[in-house]
Amino acid sequence: MTAVLNPTPVAGSGSRDVLTLAGLGPEGLRALLDLTTRLKADPEPFRGALAGGRVAMIFDKPSTRTRVSFESAAWLLGALPIVLRPDELQLGRGETIADTARALSLYVDALTVRTYAQATVEELADAASIPVINALTNEHHPCQALADVVTLEEEFGTLKGVRVAFVGDGDNVCHSLIQAASLVGFELQVATPRGYEPMEEIVWTAQVLCRETGGSITVSHEPARAVHGADAVYADTWTSMGHEAEQVARRTAFRGFRVDQKLMDRAAPSAVFLHCLPAHRGEEVTDEVIDGPASRVWPQAANRLHTETALLYSAITGDVNGVLLG
Distance CA(307)–CA(18), nearest Å, equals: 13
Distance CA(101)–CA(67), nearest Å, equals: 19
276 as an active site residue: the answer is yes
Which residues from 273-302 bind ligand NVA, rule CB under 6 A? 276
304 as an active site residue: the answer is yes
Among candidate residues 17, 258, 276, 306, the one labeled active-site is 276
Residue ranges in contact with ligand CP by CB under 6 A: 63-66, 136, 144, 276-278
The answer, yes or no, to whether the previous bond of 9 is cis (omega within 30 of 0) is no
Question: Which DSSP category does 259 fall into?
Answer: B
- Nearer to ligand NVA among residue 60 and residue 236 (C-beta): 236
Residue 51 CB, nearest distance to ligand NVA (Å)? Answer: 31
- Nearer to ligand NVA among residue 5 and residue 302 (C-beta): 302
300 as an active site residue: the answer is no
The strands making up 110-114's β-sheet, listed across from edge to edge, are 80-84, 54-59, 110-114, 132-134
Distances (CA, A) of 98 to 2, 122, 126, 208: 32, 10, 8, 33
- Nearer to ligand NVA among residue 171 and residue 231 (C-beta): 171
Taking CB under 6 A as the criterion, the residue among 97, 108, 173, 316 binding ligand NVA is: 173
- Nearer to ligand NVA among residue 16 and residue 306 (C-beta): 306
Q: Which residues of 36-61 are buried (b: 16+ CB within 10 A; e: fewer)?
A: bebbbeeeebbeebbeebbbbbbbbb
Question: Which DSSP category does 291 fall into?
Answer: T
141 as an active site residue: the answer is yes
Residue 293 CB: number of other CB atoms within 10 A? Answer: 7
**DSSP states of 4-22:** PSS-S-SS-SS---BSSSG
296 as an active site residue: the answer is no
Residue 147 CB, nearest distance to ligand CP (Å)? Answer: 8
236 as an active site residue: the answer is yes
Residue 210 CB, nearest distance to ligand CP (Å)? Answer: 25
Is residue 197 part of the contact set for ligand NVA (CB under 6 A)? no
64 binds, among ligand NVA, ligand CP, none (CB under 5 to 8 A by kind): ligand CP
Is residue 115 part of the contact set for ligand NVA (CB under 6 A)? no
CA angle 309, 278, 159 (to 5 degrees): 55
Span from 70-78, 198-206, 236-244, 298-306 in contact with ligand NVA (CB under 6 A): 236-244
236 binds, among ligand NVA, ligand CP, none (CB under 5 to 8 A by kind): ligand NVA
Q: Which residues of 182-221 are buried (b: 16+ CB within 10 A; e: fewer)?
A: bbbbbbbbbbbbeebbbeeebbeebbebbeebebbbebeb
Q: Which residues pair with 232 in a beta bridge?
A: 164, 272
Is residue 237 part of the contact set for ligand NVA (CB under 6 A)? yes
- Nearer to ligand CP among residue 184 and residue 277 (C-beta): 277
Among candidate residues 109, 140, 143, 144, the one labeled active-site is 144
Is residue 202 part of the contact set for ligand NVA (CB under 6 A)? no
- Nearer to ligand CP among residue 63 and residue 286 (C-beta): 63
Taking CB under 6 A as the criterion, the residue among 182, 240, 300, 317 binding ligand NVA is: 240
**DSSP states of 61-84:** S--SHHHHHHHHHHHHHTPEEEEE
Residue numbers at the binding site for ligand NVA (CB under 6 A): 171-173, 236-237, 240-241, 276
The residues assigned a catalytic role are 114, 141, 144, 236, 276, 304
